[in-house]
Amino acid sequence: MPCVFRLYPKAEIHYLPEVTKVSKVCEVCAKGPSTGYKVSHSNRHTKRRWLPNLQSVRANLGGTVRKVKVCASCLKAGKVHRAV
């Protein structure tokens, strides 16, 4: 069976930071997923990801209330204030 990635080459993606919203990324500090290895007792390495603790919050940003994805550390630090 042929590899799917050889049949369909990657399309070019144009990055527009002011328009693009990325999932699993904090909108305040830009903390995103990190990668590494899960190491078993027998020292086998398999790839894994650590995801940030994101919360969907109604926040007061510059006088307007909107929903943002914020990590828990930014909420605890007081970088974002919840809307009442």
Domains contained in the chain, number: 1
Q: What is the pTM of this model?
A: 0.67
**Would 58 be classed as within a structural domain?**
yes
Instruction: Assign residue 21 the CATH number of its domain.
Output: 2.30.170.40
pLDDT of residue 35: 97
Residue 12 in any domain: the answer is no
**83 domain residue, yes or no:** no
The CA–CA distances, whole Å, from 3 to 9, 11, 12, 46 equal 11, 17, 20, 22
Return per-residue pLDDT of the chain as tens, 84 residues. 444 444 444 444 444 455 456 889 999 999 999 999 999 999 999 999 999 999 999 998 888 899 999 999 999 999 998 998
Residue 69's domain comprises 17-77
| Eight-class DSSP state of 80 | S
Instruction: Specify if 68 maps to a domain.
Output: yes
Burial class (CB in 10 A: 0-12, 13-18, 19+), 27: buried
Per-residue confidence (pLDDT) for residue 52, from 0 to 100: 96
The 10 Å CB-count burial string (b at 16+, else e) for 3-20 is eeeeeeeeeeeeeeeeee
| pLDDT of the residue at 14 | 45
